[in-house]
Structure 1
């Protein structure tokens, strides 16, 4: 399994990926460059035939299979990008390909794999369940497994991205930022860059709710995360690959984690400069680059980010748009107590000193005071939310900053409408529902018959998993029964009865 550094360089230089992949351009990002005070470049892997870099590794692995391995057929597990790469490579090489995909995979990705000639089997709600099924079928039917990242030939195929950067750029970048899930792209790129030009810094970028590489680096060995966030589904991996971790830890300068809001802001940045829309995983590198510049006061450097893919469902853009301004630090969200009297809203706006209000949610609830959910535009991202809070508190307003409250941003902002004083023993839960037919009824069939549902909010974001907020009337003595039921149900959940936004607006 292991390959030496010089062996990787040989594999990368000889990888015949251009029989299936294309050499993608490196675009200047003029708006982002001006704003950040550095020259920003974007490597456009979203322009591959399958709109992702994954075709490189899949083809490089499959073209080197023996005649016997090809004749047996191949199998892979994937939630989208790797599946399309394997299907396209199989079609070009005349290999029979079976792809196991989670039932929650968006239809557009499933249909894309089928059109490329892949045989699709839908199984399970998660990648791990699909992976286990693929392993079972591999043994049962003697198929050849094409791993999405933890294979030297796959790693070498992805490394050709770095080969293009160093051989085609007019000047070498000072730093390169690479998205990381299982680690195939980062391993291949970092080993090549550090061999040819050790001066160039290489950073991996992870979503903070699936940061398996950072967790592994922190303790010096691979770590399996208990929970993985699914917003950036292309990198939603709970444990870094074995071979990829070995290569990465020897060749990178650090790893950067970014929030969902920062990813959303990066998607908009890429759109502004290229007029293209990337998937969340594809925007990770730009988000990490921005964070690196901000935290290290970097100026007048050439920085390159890899846009790794653009396989995104159109209906996810609504959610992304809502989160962009906060991620760019151009909007803050507050709960503010104002007097319940004529003219109070006008006085509140005056207190903000001409800052724009982006959102104002309110419902009458009390004769003396009103609690409003308000979004406020920041004139200068660097002024921060602290200044606004201090400005309002100086004028005797009671203020809570909810800008970092995930429940407030996903659910509460759509639910402000008054309290329910008659509801007793309400417990609040956050759920991750698999987006498949029958998931909601499966939840309600048992739960709704045993405990009254006093609050419910769901909004489709076009992802594999939906986010649900539910209030249940549960006596403390019944909590053990509720947790047992939810564990058997198998949906990810957290009790969040102490959430601040919930306490302010709905409890």
Structure 2
């Protein structure tokens, strides 16, 4: 083939990237592919970042939504109303497309969606969008959107499980190969529903088949890994929504069919490592990314031996991060590195007990960051929940030993999810 198109004859998935590139020409930004010195030095590789965080609507999602809606309008000149469901980036992509193509869009979002994201959708779509807040979760909102589209006989714009949406996302691959003249050894791609990863497979399988494509999922939403293990898209029994841009209960059929044969590997990464990556990018490179946007870079740690001396591309998929999440992100990063610990501490019911705890138990660099005390338990002692931040992970065992030796220790909470979640 001379263009980046792929036909999977066994599965019948056709991805027309060439047509998508023509539709998106002059509409989306050709985002930079930039060398990142920090991560290149850290891993001894040439690490390049594809900056979709700098895309219009601050994520790659505009590519798929614009290509899909434009293709529909080419086939149906009377199309004037579409429907979608999203908790964030897809909604913004559809809203921006609706305004550009002057098509009404009814966008369903969960009631729990942060106000900032709702305002962004209304800003990008202006008078062309109607936001409906229905359901406590994305799945409930999505069900309502699909039912509405069916009742009104309107076209539903899927966030990932659609060949034309995948083709729009695939144009990122064309840009990467145009921007980098040397062979790309590894491409790390964030995976949620699989639309972006499927798009990369579509392009690289034809134009750079030697490139190893590594999908990276959050450990609490590893739906692609489960699908590949089972041989079919399978709904997760539980879903952690922290990495909200990639928190998908079940990958799409189309994206699965492409990724099953095209991905070299699918990794899962801990939320804490994702959070540390967000902080690293902000503190060292002044780059703002959302949790899903940091997934690809977080995946490098598991491939640190394989990528030494190699040309590596990581896609930063978006920067729609709510500033109110920063403290939670910092907390998760500290927990991941073993620098933040929560305890139930037993304080003797006597004057000076807290002073003794600070002077005799805490190390010189330890810091109390959370303290909640109730003097109600019995005459001899009272329990307090205490959060302690350490400067070094090695300070944990001496702290624990001193607490036990002097009778302050009651329980350790970090490994008790139900209790610990009340503090986070």
Q: Tell whether the structures are fold-level matches, with TM greater than 0.5.
A: yes
How does 1:285-364 map onto structure 2 within 5 Å?
285-293=296-304, 296=305, 299-327=308-336, 329=337, 331-333=339-341, 335=343, 343=356, 345-349=358-362, 356-357=366-367, 359=369, 361=371, 363=373
Residue equivalent to 1:411? 422
Deviation, 1:311, is 1.6
Give yes or no for the alignment of 1:35 onto 2:42.
Answer: yes
Q: 2:33 aligns with which of 21, 26, 33?
A: 26
Deviation, 1:373, is 3.5
Deviation, 1:393, is 4.1
Q: 1:79 aligns with which of 74, 80, 87?
A: 87
Residue equivalent to 1:213? 224
CA contact (8 A) 1:267 1:283 kept: yes
CA contact (8 A) 2:16 2:164 kept: no
Deviation, 1:392, is 5.3
Residue equivalent to 1:55? 62
Give yes or no for the alignment of 1:44 onto 2:51.
Answer: yes
Question: What TM-score comes out, normalization by structure 1 length?
Answer: 0.70
User: SS of the counterpart of 1:4?
Assistant: strand
Question: What TM-score comes out, normalization by structure 2 length?
Answer: 0.83
Cα 1:332/1:252, change in 2 over 3 Å:
same
Partners of 1:314 and 1:344 lie apart in 2 by 35
Residues 287-325 of structure 1, C-alpha deviations (whole Å, 9 max, x = no match) = 2223433xx575333332211112222212221122222
Residue equivalent to 2:200? 189
Residue equivalent to 1:143? 154
Deviation, 1:284, is 1.6
User: SS of the counterpart of 2:25?
Assistant: helix
User: SS of the counterpart of 1:189?
Assistant: helix
Q: Bigger shift: 238-247 or 228-237? A: 228-237
Partners of 1:215 and 1:62 lie apart in 2 by 31
Partners of 1:369 and 1:123 lie apart in 2 by 45
Deviation, 1:244, is 0.3
Partners of 1:18 and 1:330 lie apart in 2 by 47
Partners of 2:328 and 2:317 lie apart in 1 by 21
Q: 1:17 aligns with which of 24, 27, 47?
A: 24
Give yes or no for the alignment of 1:168 onto 2:179.
Answer: yes
Residues 177-223 of structure 1, C-alpha deviations (whole Å, 9 max, x = no match) = 11111110011012312322233221111111111111112222211
Partners of 2:105 and 2:280 lie apart in 1 by 37
How does 1:48-447 map onto structure 2 within 5 Å?
48-65=55-72, 66-68=74-76, 70-115=78-123, 116=125, 117-293=128-304, 296=305, 299-327=308-336, 329=337, 331-333=339-341, 335=343, 343=356, 345-349=358-362, 356-357=366-367, 359=369, 361=371, 363=373, 367=380, 373-379=386-392, 388-389=396-397, 393=401, 397=405, 402-407=413-418, 410-412=421-423
CA contact (8 A) 2:107 2:131 kept: yes
Residues 337-366 of structure 1, C-alpha deviations (whole Å, 9 max, x = no match) = 79966755434345xxx6544647475778
Cα 1:401/1:69, change in 2 over 3 Å:
farther
CA contact (8 A) 1:76 1:146 kept: yes
Name stretches of at least 5 consecutive residues in structure 1 with no aligned partner: 414-507
CA contact (8 A) 1:100 1:133 kept: yes
Deviation, 1:67, is 5.0
Residue equivalent to 1:474? none
Partners of 1:112 and 1:331 lie apart in 2 by 35
Partners of 1:165 and 1:20 lie apart in 2 by 17
Residues 84-143 of structure 1, C-alpha deviations (whole Å, 9 max, x = no match) = 111211222222222222222222222222232322222222222222222222222221
Partners of 1:304 and 1:330 lie apart in 2 by 29
Residue equivalent to 2:7? 4
Q: Considering only aligned residues, what root-mean-square deviation do their CA atoms show, in Å?
A: 3.2
CA contact (8 A) 2:331 2:340 kept: no
Deviation, 1:272, is 2.3
Residues 437-496 of structure 1, C-alpha deviations (whole Å, 9 max, x = no match) = xxxxxxxxxxxxxxxxxxxxxxxxxxxxxxxxxxxxxxxxxxxxxxxxxxxxxxxxxxxx
Residues 399-425 of structure 1, C-alpha deviations (whole Å, 9 max, x = no match) = 976555545654347xxxxxxxxxxxx
User: SS of the counterpart of 2:56?
Assistant: coil
Partners of 1:243 and 1:94 lie apart in 2 by 29
